[in-house]
Amino acid sequence: MAQYFSEPSRTFSEYLLIPGYSSADCIPSNVSLKTPLVKYRKGQEECPITMNIPVVSAIMQSVSGEKMAIALAKEGGISFIYGSQTIEDEAAMIKAVKDNKAGFVKSDSNIRPDSTMADVVALKKRTGHSTIAVTEDGTAEGKVVGLVTSRDYRVSRMDPSTKVSEFMTPFEKLIWAKDDCTLKEANDIIWDHKLNALPIIDNNQRLKSFVFRKDYDAHKNNPDELLDSHKRYIVGAGINTRDYADRVPALLNAGVDVLCVDSSEGFSEFQQMTIRHIKDTYGEDVKVGAGNIVDREGFRFLAEAGADFIKIGIGGGSICITRETKGIGRGQATAVIEVAAARDQYFKETGIYIPICSDGGIVYDYHMTLALAMGADFLMLGRYFSRFDESPTNKLNLNGTYVKEYWGEGSNRARNWQRYDDGEGSKLKFEEGVDSYVPYAGSLKDNVQQTMAKIKATMCNCGALSIPELQEKAKLTVVSSTSIVEGGAHDVILKDKGNGATI
């Protein structure tokens, strides 16, 4: 007969943290949110990839493009570029992120020498940038022949048809640096010569990037940015269990740092075959996460298959309807608690620590702290990141409110058959995700910093200065439906910000 669980599976909203003793040192500025991304021998070696904040962006078309990856890496997290696109397009996104070496900015304002001042004005209006590279072919990597800044022309005094070659600063008069210079060397040149921008050029006089004076302070303001050994942003990528033999080498050639098998259900031979192929072909240096699973058996299966991290969660995402359509899943809190115990047991047996990622079920910021306290090493977030400027979707005005589009990988819009294929063909037979809107929330930086501040403050309430310490000291209690009501504003007349009081 079927196996039954005596206890119901629970969500994060059904738990609260009990405060613990806080010493005088327990203040948010002393809290570290560093966390391991991939497996390692804990206590014997350093983790190959450690994040500075415990969040990654979801492997979704509506969440993780190159802009998201760069913005999140600046804050200390990692984006996983979505795999529901052609191999070439995904590799191009990875390359775009890796080409953005910290402090070295790929030029997006480029023009030909035979263009006109009117073209310069139009380009400046479109990009908002006043520093424009003049290249032979007008591309970002063309041969540099000059540079145009706002000091080189006056709209009120010049004919709009004036050729760029007539008023640009020619290459012979430019101060530039070779593409093997360090960021410190580039900044020294900028300060020594009182420049606003320094072109970085290769041996063939082709433009590689710019270093800007204004970015110096910006990088000082990103102390947690996540960089590889070449000062490039760290980025991940999603893969499927169908074309991995072709997709993985292309992503590795583009510079990807970590892979993740993207699937609605990871306890399968397909994932085992994918992981083993990658490990047999490339060895342990290529890191690949797997999932999703919701119990100890699923964790053990993927751990023994060779997964470098394991994702938890089925049906808990805000746009996921897997539970509704298939009746499969588990409350996210219960799943995290059980898998965390399995992870710890595996570590005791083998000495290998495999990080676990809670994917889905996060509604409020405090749910993130709960997930970490329950044992998650980091969190994968979709809806949270989809609201920001840096997500790839359109910002719309819907009935006077700004929103962003957000759709699931299991929706008809994504058409991601590799993720949901049953092995019988490439047709998506039914949806497991919806197409929706989320409230627009502004920039990633502002929101992530506020969220991390909340997590740090809560950890201090629990007397913890690190995520491992939080997991050791946390005390959690199940809450009743009435105590949930008690936790919000109640029995008062709330002030309406626009029109006075409301009941």
Question: Which active-site residues does the annotation give?
Answer: 320, 419
Please enumerate in sequence order all residues whose Cβ is within 8 A of that of 54, keeping only pairs 6 or more positions apart, or say none: 33, 35, 77, 368, 372, 376, 377, 378, 379, 455, 467
Q: How far apart are CA 304 and CA 293, in angstroms?
A: 14
Asked whether the beta carbons of 210 and 198 are under 8 A apart, the reply is yes
How many other CB atoms are found less than 10 A from the CB of residue 34? 15
Helix (H, G, I), strand (E, B) or coil at 358: strand
Q: How far apart are CA 216 and CA 232, in angstroms?
A: 16
Q: How do 401-407 and 395-398 pair as beta strands? A: antiparallel
Segments in 4-139 forming alpha helices (H): 66-75, 87-98, 117-127
Helix (H) or strand (E) holding 277: helix 269-282
Longest dimension (CA), the chain: 87
Q: How far apart are CA 233 and CA 74, in angstroms?
A: 8
SS (H, E, C) 130-165: CCEEEECCCCCCCEEEEEECHHHCCCCCCCCCCEHH
Asked whether the beta carbons of 80 and 116 are under 8 A apart, the reply is no
Asked whether the beta carbons of 322 and 315 are under 8 A apart, the reply is yes
Selection from 439, 415, 437 nearest residue 428 by Cα: 415
Helix (H, G, I), strand (E, B) or coil at 439: strand
Asked whether the beta carbons of 360 and 1 are under 8 A apart, the reply is no
Q: How do 35-36 and 50-51 pair as beta strands? A: antiparallel
134 pairs with which residues across the strands?
A: 111, 146
